[in-house]
Amino acid sequence: MTAPDQKADFSGVSAQVDTTAEKVEKADFSGVRANVDTTAEKVGGSAAQTYTVRSGDTLSHIAKQFYGKASEWNTIYAANRDQLDDPDRIKPGQVLTIPARDDQPTG
């Protein structure tokens, strides 16, 4: 049986925090340089494009236009899932991302 209302005794506990902030000089990054370069043009890749949906368009029609195959419609659908809930319900005026052939999403 435990004693009612008995609390833990922490009176003998102590803590110490030591910091090195004042002991170490600040790092000097003044000589650090960075350069970001794209490889898209260097390896023959192409960037994604956009397409504004027109009245009568379907994803299959758009895929045929960009990829040469209507069956590639799902590539466009996958790249635009943030704005397309149903591949059969695209609307005129929507701006779709058309992935480059080598940028096609997987899955």
Q: Is residue 67 part of a domain?
A: yes
Q: How confident is the model at residue 103 (pLDDT cuts 50, 70, 90)?
A: very low
**Which distant-in-sequence residues (6+ apart) come within 8 Å of 68 by Cβ?**
none
Of residues 14 and 96, more confidence is placed in 96
Q: Is residue 75 part of a domain?
A: yes
| Residue linked to tokens 């000589």 | 31
Tell me: pLDDT of 89 over 90. Answer: yes
In whole angstroms, give the CA distance from residue 91 to residue 79.
16
Q: Is residue 34 part of a domain?
A: no
Go through 25-54 and write b for each residue having 16 or more CB atoms within 10 A of its CB, e for each that does not: eeeeeeeeeeeeeeeeeeeeeeeeeebebe
pLDDT at residue 22 in the model: 61
Q: Is residue 88 part of a domain?
A: yes
Q: Is residue 98 part of a domain?
A: yes
Q: Is residue 9 part of a domain?
A: no
Range of the domain at 78: 55-102
Closest CA to 71 of 90, 89, 58: 58
In whole angstroms, give the CA distance from residue 3 to residue 15.
29
Q: Is residue 44 part of a domain?
A: no
Tell me which DSSP letter residue 3 carries: P
Q: Is residue 46 part of a domain?
A: no
Q: What is the pLDDT of residues 16-47, one digit of tens each?
A: 776 666 666 677 777 777 766 655 544 445 67
How many folded domains does the chain comprise? 1
pTM: 0.53
